[in-house]
Structure 1
C-alpha cells in the first residue's frame, strides 16, 4: 500500500486478528445497488456504509481543497495523462491484494485493518487496486483519483475514508530507443529542472530500492533505466510545481526547495522509492513510486511494455499546503470552510492559508477496561467513531498496566469529543459515551473498570 507510515507497519506486525462474532449472522449487504453475501469477515459499520458511493465525491466538489489539489496535479503533469475518476470502491480481494503481489500473511489482509464485505470482497485500501483493470482497458498514461478505506487510529490526521491519486505511464520497446519519445521527454523535463530553484538529493542505490527486476535485466535494461529516469524527472517536476510557489513566499533568503529520494518497498513495484520535501522545518513524505512489476503488466495484456507508477494522499498534501489542522474538516458542510477554497480566476492553486472559524472546548471521557483474550485497538476506534461520528477528535491510550497478581492487562483510552462547528453540551457527550461503553461490552465483551 502506498505510503503506510513506518510506525504503523511496526504496529501491524503485532496486531491480533479480531472478527466480531455477530458478523457471521448478518444479512446481505447492498452497496451501490448490488447485493453482497456476508460471512465471518464482514466488518463494515453503518458510519462507513454511508460513505460508500459509486465514485469518489470530495475531489470533484466546488469549494473543496481536494478538488483544487487534484486539478493542480493534473495541470502540472499535463494532457498526456488521462484523468480517470475511479469506479465503485467495492473491489475483489484479488484486485486489491492478489494481483499486486501481497503475500498471504500481509497485515493489510486482516479484518483488523481492512473493511471486508466478505472474504472475497472489500473496500479498496489503495488506488493500486485499479492498476490491473486500468492497464487491461489499454489506458497507458493516466491519473486515477479514488476514495480509499482503512481501519485506523483516530486523531487529527487519520480518517477511515481518505483520497489518493494513482499515476502511471507505460511504453512499448520502440519508445525507449535512442532519441525516442521517452528520452526526449526526460531531456525536456531535466532541462527545466536544471533552471529551477530546487536542490535534489538522490543517492539511493538500486539494491536499497529493491533492485532491477530479473526480466528487465535480461530483456530490456535500457528500458528499465529510462523508466526510472522518466519517473524521477516527472515527480521532481510535480513536487516543484506543488510546493515551490509557497516555498518562495515562506522561505528565508531565497533558499532552493529541497527534495530527497529514499528507498522503499511496495509489493507491486521494483525498484521502489519515496519522495520527501523539506517544508516548514521538517521532511514531509509526499508519495511512493517505482517501476511496475512486470507480472502485473503481463497479466494485463501489456507484456511488451515497461513503465512506472506512483501514489499520493490528497488529504496529506492539502493539509500541509493549506494549513488545515484536522482531517475531519474535509467532510464539513459548513460554508465557513468551503467558501475559503474557491478557485482563482487564473485556475492555479491558490496561495491561501485556512482561517479557523471556531475552536470549541474539548470534552474528555475515559474508557478503562481489562483486556479480553482477543483485542484489537482498531475495534475500539471503530466503535467510538461509529457511535460518535465526526464529534470525536482523537482517541489515545493514556495508561496501561499488568496486575501483579492476576497478570491481567488493563488499558485506559482517553476520548476527546469536540465538534468543529458547535459547542457540545455535556449531556449530549455523556449519552454518546454511554453508547460507546454499551457497544464495547456487548460486541467485544470488554470488562469496563
Structure 2
C-alpha cells in the first residue's frame, strides 16, 4: 500500500512536534507549542483539511494516522508539563530554603523611655512589698474624681486642681485616686494597691510642671494601720528608689481625702524638692465605699512620675521628657 502525502505530513508533524516539546524550557513556551500543533488553527488542523481530496478508500487510514499523531503529541505535552511544573516547584523550594547556619540580621534595639522605665521601677518595688497593680478609666465622672474623695461641689479644694471638663459632664481625671474608689467598691479589706496612670490638669507648662503627666498612687486599708506605717512604707520605697543616702522630710499639709496629710520632700541638687503627698485615708472616703471607719484605717500616697524621673536621672527640665529629642533619649 502506498503512503499518501497527508500521511507523510502527519509523520513529519509528529517528529517535529515531539522534538520541539522536548526542547521547551517553560510552561509558557509549552503552551505556545500546544496551540501551534493541536490548536483549532494549528498545523494538524491545516493538514486534515486536505482529506477532502482523498478517495473514500484512503480516508480511514489517514484518519487513524491523525488520531495516532494527535495522541502522541498530547502525551508528550502532558509529560513535559509535569516535568516543568516539578522543576518550578523544586526551584522555588531551593530559593526559599532557610540556611539556619547563616548569621542573623542585626537590628538596632529600642530603648525604654525614662518615664516608662521609672514606672516599671516603682511597680517592681511595690509589687515586691505585696501591692497589687490597679488601673481605671482616664475619663471620669465627677463622683469618682471628687465627690467620693470627700470633695463635694462647694469644697474649696476643687480650686487646687484646674480640671478639664467634657461636654457630657464628665472630666479628664486629675489624679489616679479615682482608681482607689473603684477598687474599694469592688473589694473588701485588707487591700494594698498601686495605681499608675496618665492624669490631666490645666496647668501652666514650665520646667517642673505639665498639663498632662503621669501619676502613681498607693493605697493600703486594713485594721490598725497608723501614720507610722505610712512613713515607714514611704521611706522604704524612697530608699529603694533613690538609695539610702537621699535625705527625706515630711511636712504637714492638706488634702481633702486624707487626714492627717503630709508632703514628702527629697533633697535634690542642694534644694528640697516636693515629690509626693500622703496621709491617712479620711473616714468619709471609707464611708463612701462602704467601709466602717471604726474598724478599718488606711493610708494613701501619690506622686508624679515625671518628678521622680527628673530626680532619678538628674533632668533639669520636665519638657525634655516630651520633646522626643533623640540626643536626649539615647542617654537612657
- The two structures share one fold, judged by TM-score above 0.5: yes
Once residues 160 and 303 of structure 2 are traced to their aligned partners in structure 1, the CA distance between those partners, rounded to angstroms, is 24
Equivalent residues in 2 for 1:179-194, closer than 5 Å: none
| 1:94–1:120 contact (8 Å) kept in structure 2 | no
Equivalences, count: 218
Quote the Cα distance in structure 1 between the aligned partners of 2:157 and 2:253.
17
**Is the CA contact 2:145–2:177 (under 8 Å) kept in the aligned structure 1?**
yes
- Per the TM alignment, residue 229 of structure 1 is displaced from its structure 2 partner at its CA by 1.5
Say yes or no: does 1:288 pair with 2:277. Answer: yes
Q: Deviation at 1:237?
A: 0.8
The Cα of 1:127 is off from its aligned counterpart by 1.4
Q: Distance in 2 between matches of 1:119 and 1:112?
A: 20
- State the partner residue of 2:239: 240
List alignment gaps of at least 5 residues for structure 2: 1-109
Q: 1:328 to 1:98 in 2, by over 3 A?
A: same
Q: Distance in 2 between matches of 1:268 and 1:142?
A: 17
Shift of 1:323: 2.2
Q: Shift in Å at residue 79 of structure 1? A: 4.8
Residues 306 and 109 (structure 1), Cα distance of their counterparts in 2 relative to 1, 3 Å cut: closer
Compute the displacement of 1:125 (Å).
0.7
SS at match of 2:249: strand
Deviation, 1:285, is: 1.0
Q: Report the alpha carbon displacement of residue 99 of structure 1 after superposing the two structures with TM.
A: 1.1
Among 260, 267, 285, which residue is 2:249 paired with?
260
**Whole-angstrom distance in 2 between the partners of 1:240 and 1:284:** 16
Within a 5 Å distance, the mapping from 1:353-392 to structure 2 comes to: none
Aligned equivalents of 1:132, 1:337: Cα separation in 2: 38
Matched, 1:63 2:112: yes
Residues 114 and 123 in structure 1, CA contact (< 8 A), matched pair in contact too: yes
Quick check: 1:63–1:339 contact (8 Å CA) kept in 2? no
State how 1:404-423 maps to structure 2 within 5 Å. Answer: none
For 1:111 and 1:163, the matched residues in 2 are separated by 18
Encode CA deviations 1:71-95: one digit per residue, 9 max, x unaligned: 22223331510122x3331000111
Equivalence for 1:159: 210
1: distance between equivalents of 2:196 and 2:263? 19
1:338 correspondence with 2:329: yes
Structure 1 residues 227, 339: closer, same or farther in 2, change over 3 A?
Answer: same
Distance across 2 between alignment mates of 1:118 and 1:227: 41
- Residue aligning to 1:100: 149
Contact 1:107–1:113 (CA under 8 A) maintained in structure 2: no
CA distance in 1, matches of 2:154, 2:284: 20
The unaligned stretches of length 5 or more in structure 1 are: 1-60, 174-222, 248-256, 342-449
Q: Matches of 1:169 and 1:154 in 2, distance apart?
A: 32
